[in-house]
C-alpha cells in the first residue's frame, strides 16, 4: 500500500511539473498578416537609440520574447569594440520605435541619458542567454 501511495505521489508530482512546462498550442497552425507598421527583430538589431537631446545613448543588441509577447529590448551602452559594454533590459513601453518614411529607416528613442542607462541593472549574456 505504501508503494502505491508513493508511486501515485510521484506520478502526480511529475504530471504537475510537466503541465507547468508544456506549452499550450492551437489545434493547427495559426497564420497572421504582417502589416507595414511592424518591425522585424533583424531590422532593429544594431539600431542606435537616441534621447530627446538627439544624443546616441545606446544600441539595440537583442529582443526578449516571453511566451508570446515582446518582454524587453536589450540595449548596449558604452564600451568600445565590445570592451566595457554595459547591457540593460528596457521595457518596450520605455522605447519608442518609429519608421521614418522619408529616410526609409527605423528610429529608436528613449527618455534617458547614457549615464542613467549605465547605472541601470546590468543584463548579462550568460546561462541560457549566452551567445
Q: Is the pLDDT at 96 greater than 80, yes or no? A: yes
pLDDT in tens, 25-44: 778 888 999 988 889 999 99
Higher pLDDT, 97 or 20: 97
Please give the pLDDT value at position 21.
60
Domain 41-129 top-level CATH class? mainly beta
Cell of 85: 559594454
Please give the pLDDT value at position 83.
72
Q: What residue spans define the domains of the chain?
A: 41-129
**Nearest-angstrom CA–CA distance, 49 and 60:** 7
Contacts for 65 with CB less than 8 Å, ≥ 6 apart: 71
Amino acid at each position: 500500500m505504501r508503494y502505491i501511495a508513493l508511486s501515485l505521489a510521484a506520478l502526480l508530482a511529475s504530471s504537475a511539473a510537466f503541465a507547468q512546462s508544456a506549452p499550450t498550442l492551437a489545434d493547427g497552425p495559426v497564420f497572421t498578416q504582417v502589416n507595414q507598421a511592424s518591425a522585424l527583430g533583424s531590422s532593429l538589431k544594431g539600431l542606435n537609440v537616441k534621447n530627446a537631446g538627439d544624443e546616441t545613448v545606446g544600441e539595440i543588441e537583442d529582443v526578449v520574447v516571453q511566451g508570446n509577447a515582446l518582454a524587453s529590448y536589450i540595449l548596449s551602452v558604452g564600451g568600445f569594440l565590445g570592451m566595457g559594454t554595459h547591457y540593460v533590459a528596457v521595457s518596450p513601453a520605455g522605447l519608442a520605435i518609429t519608421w521614418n518614411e522619408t529616410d526609409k529607416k527605423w528610429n529608436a528613442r528613449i527618455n534617458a541619458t547614457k549615464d542613467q542607462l549605465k547605472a541601470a541593472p546590468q543584463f548579462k549574456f550568460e546561462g541560457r542567454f549566452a551567445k
